[in-house]
């Protein structure tokens, strides 16, 4: 399959590993920003095949994982309203809120439905004019344009029974927050290629310049990731700190201009609370004034809902690359995909879920 098989090719992966080993002379720590990259790394065993000098740590690029508890609680509250259909993507259903999840609320009788696209929610609104249809929208710059397009469509159709609870987040401000932190443990970053497909590269070049750190844009397949690691190590060994694009088959300098126009039309940049990481300035997108009629937070006044995160779950530290899932005392004991204590265990891009699925019997080789 073009653009897939060649990026999973074992011989190519072995050649890249050989090259990485040949040029690595001292310890380096690299963060893969995206949860999809984390899953690919753990699934393919890249973390075990790299030279001992290279440590991979996992970043905040899992949209389900970084959605704060209070938004889960808001969605659960909305699902309990009479005459309401709460729609969202499948990953969100099992994320624990303060006391329950959307799935448990569904089992109690609430009309919670998993959809594959926000357009399914629009269709439900057209088919059920006597009900309120609410779409719980989360995600990075990748999913926001599609949700923005749905809001434009809702406005065009004058769909008064449709609204959206949005918790969109932006990657570059989160990276800036990590780079500005005190920890200083990460030497280089693998940026998420699919996010850069939308945003382009300007913000990432600024981060390289401001923090003198190499950032390499990569895809989600094993060969993509190994190529990204090789380019990062080359820069680190040479003392360079540049933005490199290894995902040229999809990412251009300017990104997707049409998607960017939609984002500017429908959303405005806002401060956003990230689960386990606190409030990061200008790191979120909220619904702009011309579309406020479709903003569920305004329509149903959710200002009274707030939530305190549990102290037992260390997902916040994992999302900042400070801990690994296997260092959590609850990992694979009190916390499993069947009985999750945090979003990182249930999300398809969550680091805890990746460790549980692919390496929980290999803990001794994956904890460092
Ligand atoms: S294993 Fe469970 S409790 Fe521990 S950090 Fe991951 S999600 Fe949280």
Q: Structural domain boundaries of the chain? A: 5-62+172-245, 65-170+256-299
Q: What is the pLDDT of residue 311?
A: 80
Mutate to test the pocket of ligand 1, among 60, 69, 72, 318 (most ligand atoms within 8 A of CB): 318
- For the CA of 328, the nearest atom of ligand 1: 4
Q: What angle do CA 117, 119, 125 make, to 5 degrees?
A: 125
Q: Which run of H or of E encompasses 136?
A: strand 132-139
- For the CA of 332, the nearest atom of ligand 1: 1
Q: What is the pLDDT of residue 26?
A: 96
Q: Do domains 5-62+172-245 and 65-170+256-299 have the same CATH topology?
A: yes
Q: Cα separation of 81 and 196, whole Å?
A: 38
Q: Cα separation of 196 and 252, whole Å?
A: 8
Q: What is the pLDDT of residue 308?
A: 86
pTM: 0.93
The CATH number for 65-170+256-299, chosen from 3.40.50.11740, 3.40.50.720, 1.10.1060.10, 1.20.1560.10, is 3.40.50.11740
> Hey, what are 247's tokens?
């995902």
Ranges in the chain, pLDDT < 50: 364-368
Q: What is the pLDDT of residue 363?
A: 52
Q: Which residue, by CA, sits nearest to atom 8 of ligand 1?
A: 313
The CATH number for 5-62+172-245, chosen from 3.40.50.2300, 3.40.50.11750, 3.40.50.80, 3.40.50.300, is 3.40.50.11750
Mutate to test the pocket of ligand 1, among 35, 318, 331, 367 (most ligand atoms within 8 A of CB): 331
Q: What is the pLDDT of residue 328?
A: 95
Using a pLDDT cut of 90, give the percent of the chain over it: 90
- For the CA of 345, the nearest atom of ligand 1: 7
Q: Which residue, by CA, sits nearest to atom 6 of ligand 1?
A: 352
Residue 242, burial from CB neighbour count under 10 angstroms (0-12, 13-18, 19+): middle
**What residues are in contact with ligand 1 under a 6 Å CB criterion?**
313-315, 318, 325, 328, 330-331, 335, 341-342, 344-345, 352
**Helix crossing, 10-23 with 222-238: angle to 10°?**
10
Return the closest-CA partner of residue 299 out of 84, 95, 59, 37.
Answer: 84
**Ligand 1 center from residue 29 Cα (angstroms):** 22
Q: What is the pLDDT of residue 366?
A: 43
Q: Which residue, by CA, sits nearest to atom 7 of ligand 1?
A: 342
Q: What is the pLDDT of residue 182?
A: 63
**Ligand 1 center from residue 350 Cα (angstroms):** 10
């Amino acid at each position: 399959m073009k653009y897939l098989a060649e990026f999973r090719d074992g011989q190519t992966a072995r050649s890249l590993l050989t090259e990485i080993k040949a040029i690595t002379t001292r310890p380096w720590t690299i963060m893969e920003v995206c949860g999809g990259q984390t899953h690919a790394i753990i699934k393919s065993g890249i973390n075990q095949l790299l030279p001992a000098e290279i440590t991979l740590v996992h970043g905040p690029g899992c949209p389900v994982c970084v959605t704060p508890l209070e938004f889960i609680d808001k969605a659960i509250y909305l699902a309990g309203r009479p005459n309401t259909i709460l729609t969202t993507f499948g990953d969100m259903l099992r994320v624990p809120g303060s006391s329950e999840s959307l799935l448990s609320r569904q089992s109690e009788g609430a009309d919670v439905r998993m959809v594959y696209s926000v357009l399914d929610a629009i269709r439900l609104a057209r088919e059920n004019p006597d009900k309120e249809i609410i779409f719980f929208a989360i995600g990075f710059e990748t999913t926001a344009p599609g949700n923005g397009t749905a809001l434009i469509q809702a406005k065009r159709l004058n769909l008064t029974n449709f609204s959206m609870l949005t918790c969109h987040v932006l990657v570059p401000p989160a990276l800036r927050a990590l780079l500005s932190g005190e920890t200083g443990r990460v030497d280089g970053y693998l940026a998420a290629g699919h996010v850069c497909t939308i945003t382009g590269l300007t913000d990432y070049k600024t981060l390289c310049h401001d923090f003198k750190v190499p950032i390499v844009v990569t895809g989600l397949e094993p060969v993509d990731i190994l190529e990204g690691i090789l380019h990062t190590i080359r820069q680190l060994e040479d003392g360079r700190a540049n933005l490199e694009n290894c995902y040229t088959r999809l990412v251009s300098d300017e990104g997707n201009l049409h998607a960017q126009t939609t984002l500017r039309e429908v959303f405005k940049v806002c401060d956003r609370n990230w689960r386990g990481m606190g409030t990061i300035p200008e790191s979120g997108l909220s619904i702009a004034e011309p579309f406020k009629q479709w903003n569920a937070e305004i329509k149903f006044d959710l200002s009274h809902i707030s939530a305190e995160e549990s102290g037992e779950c260390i997902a916040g530290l994992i999302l900042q690359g400070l801990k690994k899932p296997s260092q959590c005392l609850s990992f694979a004991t009190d916390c499993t995909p069947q009985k999750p204590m945090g979003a990182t265990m249930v999300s398809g891009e969550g680091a805890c879920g990746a460790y549980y699925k692919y390496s929980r019997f290999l803990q001794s080789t994956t904890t460092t």
